[in-house]
Amino acid sequence: TAGPTYEAIDPVRFIGNHSSGKMGYDIAVSAANLGASVILVSGPTNCKVQSSLIEVIPVVSAEEMYKACHEYYADVDVAIAAAAVADYRPKIMASQKIKKAAEEFTIELEKTKDILASLGAIKKKQFLIGFALETENEIENAKLKIQKKNLDLIVLNSLQDIGAGFGKPTNKVTFIDKFFNIEPMDLKSKEAVADDILNKVIAFFYE
């Protein structure tokens, strides 16, 4: 998965985030370069990809991404959840554009479905990789995510690291596997990070 999700407030406004989708797209390209058949479930992004081995499934909302992931999950060997999925969405979407009137305006939110946890709950043969973007207690929060969502590997990003995060061409990640082995990586281009992630996949299947 790649990119953000947009959760509609009304027909013209939404709740979103700053994810560009580049990391997910770079992972898809790296996998295709190794000969993998890739299904790329992508939220709204300006990223483009051209490969006969990559099928792009465009979605907008977390609900649409949830449905697409579950549609294809049973048939995949590896699932890499790099999308920045909204945790909450407006409980009610206005049918018409909301007019600016009152001095204050409140939107009631409800939780979206946890895509990664739902995939972990039904995991059979799949090698399941998640991402964690943290701002504090990074390692401990990532370890909890591995346990709660039944992951095989997590790719930890910290917003404390210069050069990492949304909208940048580089990333600095730490790999943590399900046995809590921790491997911090240097700052690299996102293309190089994508290759590192695919090397972890190869190691899982062939070493």
User: Torsion over CA of 27, 73, 46 and 166, rounded to 10 degrees?
Assistant: -60
Contact 81, 65 (CB under 8 A): no
> Mind listing the pLDDT tens digit for each residue in 84-136?
999 999 999 999 999 988 889 999 999 999 999 999 999 999 999 999 987 77
- Out of 17, 33, 141, 199, pick the active-site residue: 17
The neighbour count for residue 92, using CB atoms within 10 Å, is: 11
pLDDT, residue 102, reads 84
Q: Is 17 marked active-site?
A: yes
| pTM of this structure | 0.93
Inform me whether the pLDDT recorded for 166 exceeds 70.
Answer: no
Give the pLDDT score at 152: 97
Distances (CA, A) of 103 to 65, 99, 108, 110: 35, 12, 17, 23
pLDDT at 52: 96
pLDDT value at 180 more than 90: yes
162 pLDDT more than 90: no
The two tokens of residue 36 are 């993998």
pLDDT in tens, 65-85: 999 999 999 999 999 999 999
